[in-house]
Structures are given as C-alpha cells and as structure tokens.
Amino acid sequence: MSRPGSTPVSVSGFTAACVVVANMVGTGVFTSLGFQVVSISSGFVLLGLWCVGGLCALCGALCYAELGAALPRSGGEYALLTRIYGRPMGFLAAWVSMTAGFPAAVALSALAFGRYLNGMVAGIPASAAALAVLAAVTCVHWAGIEMGSAFQRGVTVLKVFLIVLVTASGLFVPKAGSVSFRPESESLGEFLGAPFAISLVFVMFAYSGWNAATYISSEIESPAKSIPGALLSGTGVVIALYLGLNWFFLATAPLEALKGNVEVGLIAGLHAFGPVGGKVMSSVICLLLVSSISSMVWVGPRVTMVLGEDYPRIGLLARKSECGTPRVALTVQTAVTLALILTGTFEAVLMYLQFVLLASSFATAMGVIVLRRREPDLPRPYRVWGYPFTPGVFLACSLWMMGFVLVQKTRESLTGLTVLGLGLVLYSFIRNEERSPDSSPERR
C-alpha cells in the first residue's frame, strides 16, 4: 500500500470531462418530463425550461471552475469548504457525501439498472441485477486509476453516442407528438407561472453532477487548465443532450401518453420504434446507467480518502494501493451502498438530504465571492466569466430551491439537519491531532 497523499497523476482532461457527463446524465432526464407536461403544454416552453436549468448549471460549473483551478485538491466540497470556511464546515460536507450522498445515489442508479434490465430479460430480480452491476463496476475501479479511466472514457463515449443516435432517429420515425415548438404569444406567459418554477426544481436535480471533476482534482493532469475545461465542456455537452432527448420525447409521443408517467423514455421508444421500442430504450438506459454508476463509484471514495489524509484517527481511510486506488475508502462506500440497497432505504435517504446537499453547493459557490474579497491576490488560473452576475444567478437559483424544498419537505429537511448534528458529534471526537491539509489554513 502506498502512503497517504501519494496519488499518481494520470487522469486526462478528457477523462475528467467524461466523469462530469457520466455523473450528470442519469435517470432524471428519462423521468421528469412526464410531470412537466401535466401543467405545461408548449414544446417551446418545455425546451426553454431545460435551457434555463442548463444555464443555472453552467453558472455553477463556472464558479466551481474558478475554485477548482485555484485550489486543485481532490475531495470536491470537502476540500473547497475546508479551505474557504474552516474544518468543521468541510467535515460536514464530507460526512454527508460519504454516509449517504454518493452511496444513496449509486444505490438508486444500480436499482434503476436492475429494473430496466428486467424489462429486457424477464425473471431477473432488480435487486440481484443492482448488486451484480455494483460488484462489476467496483472491481474495475479496484484495479486502479488506469483501468478505471479507460472504462469511464469508453462507457461515457458510448453513452453520448447512443443519446445522439436516439435523438437523430427522431428525424426519421413517425411523429406522434402533439406539441408545438414555435414561440407563441399565449404560451410565453408560462415562463412566469408557478408550474414552470416548480418544474425547474426537478430539472436542476436532473442537471446535478456538473461539479464531479473537483472530486478527483489531485489525479488530473494540469488541473489549473483541465478542471475548468472539464466542468464547462461536460456541462455544455449535457445541455445539448438534454435538449435533444426532450425534443425526441415530445416529438415522438402524444402528450396524453406522457402526462403523469415516469417512464417517458420507454413510452417514446414504443411510439418511435414499435413493439421492440421498450426493449430498445431499456437497453439504452441500462448502458447509460452503467456509466453513471462508474463515475460515482470512482469519485465518491476520493472524499473519504482525503478525509483520512487530514484526520489521523481515521487515517486508514487514506490508504491507497500501488495503482492509486483508495481501496479502504472504496470498500466503505461499497458497504454503505450495499446496506442501502438491501434495506431499501436509499430513496428516503436522498429525500432527507436534498436540502443539505443544496446548501453545500450554495456555500461552495458563495466561496468564489468570499475568496475574491478575503484573498484578492490568490493565484486564479481561471476567473469566472461574468462575475459577479454568474455566481449571483446560481446562488439565487439555489436559494429558491432550498426554500422550496424546506417548505414542501420540512420534516425531511429537518431530518437531514439532524444528520449534520451527528456529523458534528463525530467531528468533535476525531478533530484532535488533525493534520494540516495541504491547501487548507489552520482554522478551527
């Protein structure tokens, strides 16, 4: 085993961009449209909804690009919040990520894989398929960064190709869609209505993952240049993919068939490709989910690993193999994921932590403004375009979503805050004899 902190640098900027794309494109884009069309009937407004969500995500990516280039250390929000606000804030972000944020998201995607696989091959239990794909992907990343990088590149390129292929097929199949994509005066008012605002919350969750490259910053070649490039190009690609997919869904399936249904991808596939459409779309979504699972299995343990580097009492978490894999941290995340799958509690965990996860990204983006004022001379290889307007757009959008989640899911949000309280108890126990992080000031 190699010593903590001796991570080999072997991840290209292209691979980092693949991680961003893979993290972002999951089940959200294949499920949320069915609820949006219940109250929004204009195709122009619906595509505009995904444009607005993409703009907010891009503003967030620009903020993280400045921070990631200036403070290139693996760990995502943990490393950045520790550097900006101090150790307690960073530890809480890591606590949420390692105990639920990544494990619950992996469990959700793995079980979704199982459900779609069951649609292709009847008789395979969804939970068994979920455990199998989790085991297979974990073995790939256990083998080392080289193999994990190659696998991630391959499945992500395949993911993008399949989405482009599905979207392009919409030009040649019968159009059963009944919506208009032309801007019409009577539909423009829908941009200002409550249904548009509520739908934006779910669109933003579908866009989550644009910050993925910051979790592996220490492993990326030329991080000052590659991190901004990965975040911005990855987010830009996903915006284009999402617009294309939603156009395909709306153009090929009748609006009434989509309303209130979760499986909009399958419905559109059936209308576009006939009886085999369900299996075609199931196979495509299965392959897309493998890419998403792989990216989260890769980046999630880096948070736990960096936590072990900074706190000697849990230093075992920082252990890496000779090939650079944080195998102890990977084992911990896999164990938590298995527990969530077997107990069926992952959806509840994600619901409880929505407010906390939003608060974490809000605080991180706010860090751009905090550091600009507190450390104006900090070397910034990349400076966010449109400052302070760009951070302001993301912060306003995040604040609105936090308020919405807090009002609509008050009990769940308070439960999430209770989880943070447990994290503070653990922090008070392990904070003694803590190491000074490479990029973090001595602050308590």
Q: What is the pLDDT of residues 366-422, one digit of tens each?
A: 999 999 999 999 999 999 999 999 999 999 989 988 888 888 888 888 888 898 899
Structure tokens at 179: 């919506």
For 427, how many CA atoms within 13 A lie in the half-sphere containing its CB? 19
Q: Return the number of other C-beta atoms located less than 10 Å from residue 151's C-beta.
A: 18
Distance CA 162, CA 119 (A): 19
Q: What is the average pLDDT across 161-177?
A: 84
Q: For residue 135, what are the contacts with CB-CB under 8 A and spacing of at least 6?
A: none
What per-residue confidence (pLDDT) applies to 443?
A: 39
Give the chain's mean pLDDT.
87
pLDDT at 167 over 50: yes
Amino acid at 102: F
pLDDT at 349 over 60: yes
Contact assessment for residue 140 and residue 151, using Cβ atoms and an 8 Å cutoff:
yes
Dump pLDDT digits (tens) for 2-25: 444 444 557 899 999 999 999 999
Q: Return the number of other C-beta atoms located less than 10 Å from residue 369's C-beta.
A: 16
CATH number of 13-428: 1.20.1740.10
pLDDT band at 440 (very low <50, low <70, confident <90, very high): very low
Q: What is the average pLDDT across 228-250?
A: 94
**Widest distance between CA atoms in the chain:** 67
Structure tokens at 148: 């994990």
- Across 24-28, 115-119, 304-308, the highest mean pLDDT is recorded for 304-308
Contact assessment for residue 352 and residue 358, using Cβ atoms and an 8 Å cutoff:
no
Q: What is the average pLDDT across 163-184?
A: 81
Beta bridge partners of 220: 11
What per-residue confidence (pLDDT) applies to 306?
A: 93
Structure tokens at 202: 């779910």
Query: What is the distance between the terminal CA atoms of the chain, rounded to a whole angstrom?
Result: 31
Give the least confident one: 306-315, 344-353, 356-365: 344-353
pLDDT at 185 over 90: no
pLDDT band at 276 (very low <50, low <70, confident <90, very high): confident
pLDDT band at 117 (very low <50, low <70, confident <90, very high): confident
Apex CA 16: angle with CA 321 and CA 375, to 5°?
A: 95
CA 38 to each of CA 12, 184, 191: distance values in angstroms, whole numbers, following the listed order:
43, 19, 15
Q: Return the number of other C-beta atoms located less than 10 Å from residue 222's C-beta.
A: 14
What per-residue confidence (pLDDT) applies to 3?
A: 44
What per-residue confidence (pLDDT) applies to 7?
A: 47
What per-residue confidence (pLDDT) applies to 122?
A: 76
What per-residue confidence (pLDDT) applies to 437?
A: 53
* Residue % of the chain over a pLDDT of 90: 50
- pTM beyond cutoff 0.85: yes
What per-residue confidence (pLDDT) applies to 436?
A: 53
Contact assessment for residue 431 and residue 311, using Cβ atoms and an 8 Å cutoff:
yes
Distance CA 102, CA 305 (A): 14
Distance CA 96, CA 100 (A): 6
* φ, ψ at 11 (rounded to 5°): -100, 120
Contact assessment for residue 71 and residue 80, using Cβ atoms and an 8 Å cutoff:
yes
Residue given tokens 């911005």 in the structure block:
232
Stronger pLDDT, 192 or 64, i.e. the higher one: 64
SS (H, E, C) the chain: CECCCCCCCCECHHHHHHHHHHHHCCCHHHCCHHHHCCCCCCHHHHHHHHHHHHHHHHHHHHHHHHHHHHCCCCCCHHHHHHHHHCHHHHHHHHHHHHHHHHHHHHHHHHHHHHHHHHHHCCCCCHHHHHHHHHHHHHHHHHCCHHHHHHHHHHHHHHHHHHHHHHHHHCCCCCCCCCCCCCCCHHHHHHHHCHHHHHHHHHHHHHHCCCCHHHHHHHHECCHHHHHHHHHHHHHHHHHHHHHHHHHHHHHHCCHHHHCCCCCHHHHHHHHHHHHHHHHHHHHHHHHHHHHHHHHHHHHHHHHHHHHHHHCHHHHHHHCECCCCCCHHHHHHHHHHHHHHHHHCCHHHHHHHHHHHHHHHHHHHHHHHHHHHHHCCCCCCCCCCCCCCHHHHHHHHHHHHHHHHHHHHCHHHHHHHHHHHHHHHHHHHHHCCCCCCCCCCCCCC
Q: Return the number of other C-beta atoms located less than 10 Å from residue 8's C-beta.
A: 15
